[in-house]
Amino acid sequence: MSSPATSPSPAVATPTLDEIKTIGREVGLTLSDSDAQSFIGLMAVGVGAYNGLAQMPDNLPPVKYPRGKGERAKSDENKNNAWYWKARVEGARNGKLKGKTIALKDNVMLAGVPMMNGSATLEGYVPEVDATIVTRILDAGGTILGKAHCEAFCASAGSHTNATGPVHNPHRHGYSAGGSSSGSAALVAAGEVDMAIGGDQGGSIRVPSAHCGTYGMKATHGLVPYTGIFPIEPTIDHAGPITGNVRDNALLLEAIAGADGLDPRQYSPRVQPYSQLLDGGAKGLKIGVLKEGFAQPNSEGACDEKVRKAAALFAKLGASVGEVSIPMHLIAGAVFLPIIFEGATATMMLGDGYGVSRSDLYVTSLMDYHRNWRGQANKLSETVKLFTLFGSYIRKKYGGKYYGKAINLARQLTAAYDATLAQVDLLLMPTTPMKARPMPKAGASREEYVGLAIDAAGSTSPFDITHHPAMSVPCGMIDGLPVGMMLVGRHFDEPTIYRAAYAFEQAGDWKTM
């Protein structure tokens, strides 16, 4: 005798009386049993619509290039813990990136290959789509070698928060590689790949580039599509190139830049042939040395001096170099922090990676997997715990007014930089106040752990909220560790940054400057 057929469970169940009454209390409603039952009845149409939606195939871009799953990087072949996953994907037969090897920061989706974004709570997730920039790299003939470790949910400017252990600086084991694109910069600096993709919401391309001695470009917001990359906060999400020289950096940006029709962060991006605009030298450029970028409370005098020597070299190369002052640069952190604390909490954590109210490409498999962090929150890094706790506290007690005010003031901060950039072509300052430091030892206090994760981004984070292009250029060594100089330009004026960086690079070996 056969058993009776059973209907499959619906994707979205009708809420119970207790569930509706509990949710009512959470949003401030007092519901009687009859009220709750009435609302449950009214929700029947919605429940049916959701279950109909669940049966429809998702509308995701096709995967163009074949690949295998690859394998987790072996520890004996991963001395700096910079690799997460090795998976070779060959691109087109021809193109501007032919012969170049590329590592992807492990917040970038590579279909069929695991992505953990530095966090134990995401371990085991495998995306089914390629990020737009992945397809563009492969269309340009590049060869992707795998995924580079990054910091836990990219919430650190140090390299000690990844759930698998720290990423070491190739110049000195046990020292920070910077973050959050720690593995990307370390792999380029160690010569294991030609190029890498990084992400930058507070300095996460530029800080590791400064610490590792690579060239890292955070282009104008929206120039590079963020589609298929784990978001933090849409107003500050950036992706971009980390390379061992300026020409490769310009070439990679050229390959990945431009609107994709999916990313709402993109608003009329102006793409240019960057690799063809490197020549011209420094002669005639007006460079403003930003007074407030130096002598900060946590600055190392030797780093400031290296960057001032770099500015003097620009003068020798024919640039007009002089000091400029933008006092608002010193209070930019008060504008940045509400955006990252509240925005990252609302979008990345409580919003399951995406949040709502924008016309993005939502990778719903990621949202479904990532929402499980709530059941294993103790595994989160101390930095992510801090962001989530404080962002949730502010929202619960004060609402969203401070986030809104920060966004408003970001326009004023943008105008302050723009006013000076109307008088000079570029701003120049240290990328980070200090060179790489030792990573916290086992058993370090939470205060030390968090402090080393956030205190290097004072001068990088302002340009995430103002959206100006900014590049870290290596300009010397102190005690065997690199120092980075940051060049900041007008919106969509990446060519001027590249022109200056290329002139500086051609003037001598930065390691001996």
Q: What is the pLDDT of residue 329?
A: 98
What average pLDDT does range 279-292 have in this prediction? 98
Q: What is the pLDDT of residues 47-78, one digit of tens each?
A: 999 999 999 999 999 999 999 999 999 999 99
Q: What is the pLDDT of residues 341-356, one digit of tens each?
A: 999 999 999 999 999 9
Q: Is residue 53 part of a domain?
A: no
Q: What is the pLDDT of residues 154-176, one digit of tens each?
A: 999 999 999 999 999 999 999 99
Exposed / middle / buried, residue 52 (Cβ in 10 Å: 0-12, 13-18, 19+): exposed
SS3 state of residue 362: coil
Q: How far apart are CA 223 and CA 487, in angstroms?
A: 17
Q: How far apart are CA 114 and CA 106, in angstroms?
A: 9
SS3 state of residue 301: helix
Token code pair at residue 270: 């102006």
Q: Is residue 63 part of a domain?
A: no
Token code pair at residue 438: 């030792």
What average pLDDT does range 268-291 have in this prediction? 97
Q: Is residue 51 part of a domain?
A: no
Percentage of the residues of the chain whose pLDDT score is greater than 90: 98
Q: Is residue 25 part of a domain?
A: no
Q: What is the pLDDT of residue 6?
A: 56
Here the CATH number for the domain that contains residue 344 is 3.90.1300.10
Asked if pLDDT for residue 188 goes beyond 50, the answer is yes
Give me the active site residues, please: 105, 180, 204
* Band (9; pLDDT cuts 50, 70, 90): confident
Asked if pLDDT for residue 334 goes beyond 90, the answer is yes
* Residue corresponding to tokens 């959050």: 180
Residue type, 24: G
First to last CA, the chain: 86
DSSP code at position 373: G
Q: How far apart are CA 423 and CA 37, in angstroms?
A: 66
Q: Is residue 35 part of a domain?
A: no
Domain count, the chain: 1
Q: What is the pLDDT of residues 437-470, one digit of tens each?
A: 999 999 999 999 999 999 999 999 999 999 999 9
Domain carrying residue 402: 71-512
SS3 state of residue 147: strand
What average pLDDT does range 220-232 have in this prediction? 98
Alpha helices of 440-493 — where are they, by DSSP H?
446-454, 462-466
Token code pair at residue 117: 């974004």
Alpha helices of 345-485 — where are they, by DSSP H?
364-370, 382-398, 401-421, 446-454, 462-466
Give one DSSP letter per residue of 268-285, joined into a string.
S-----GGGS--S-STT-
Q: Is residue 275 part of a domain?
A: yes
Q: What is the pLDDT of residues 83-121, one digit of tens each?
A: 999 999 999 999 999 999 999 999 999 999 999 999 999
Q: Is residue 352 part of a domain?
A: yes
Asked if pLDDT for residue 253 goes beyond 60, the answer is yes
Token code pair at residue 248: 């490769």
Residue type, 337: L
Q: What is the pLDDT of residue 5?
A: 53
Q: Is residue 30 part of a domain?
A: no
